[in-house]
Homo-oligomer: A and B are copies of this chain.
Amino acid sequence: METLGRHLIVELYGCDPNVLNDLDKVCAAVAQGCSDIGATALNVVSHRFAPQGVTVTVLIAESHLSVHTWPEHGYAAVDFFTCGGLDPRDGVEALRLGLRATRGRVQEIVRGLDEHVADAVKLLPEDVTVLSNVAVMSFDPPE
């Protein structure tokens, strides 16, 4: 099935709150993820919120990466949106390690399906591919 983009929705739990609040460390993890998928970074924007939390968005030649953190929940929302043959899955490990996540989940959403296909399938769950649960991505399993 032809598709234009691949979009990974990554939920990271049990992260180190200090890391999630450290803009330099989050940026470093994002840069590593960007590098691991072979993306060409065009621009980076980031912000540190008060009292806590950071946002980093990287515009890449192949779409974008973004991270939003909630240190108070040990949670980070990560998105890898890629096109042009890159495999966004290659970038997940850098974020998992960099943010020190202990649990997580990853799902891939097909973007830019041929519109005739899209008309046919509407919004059925087939658009959402469950890539992994905790174990598959080498996360420590929950208790």
What residue in chain B is nearest A123 (Cβ atoms)?
B130
> Which residues of A does B touch, CB under 8 Å?
4-5, 7, 9, 11, 13-14, 42-43, 45-47, 49, 55, 57, 59, 61, 63-64, 66, 68, 70, 73-75, 77, 79, 81, 83, 103, 105, 107, 109, 111-113, 115, 118-119, 122-123, 125, 127-128, 130-133, 142
What residue in chain B is nearest A13 (Cβ atoms)?
B115
Q: Are B61 and A49 in contact (CB under 8 A)?
A: yes
What residue in chain B is nearest A72 (Cβ atoms)?
B4
Q: Are B109 and A122 in contact (CB under 8 A)?
A: no
Q: Are B59 and A57 in contact (CB under 8 A)?
A: yes
Further 10 A-B residue pairs, CB within 8 A, beyond A47-B59, A55-B59, A68-B83: A5-B68, A7-B9, A45-B57, A57-B59, A66-B66, A75-B112, A103-B115, A105-B118, A105-B122, A128-B128
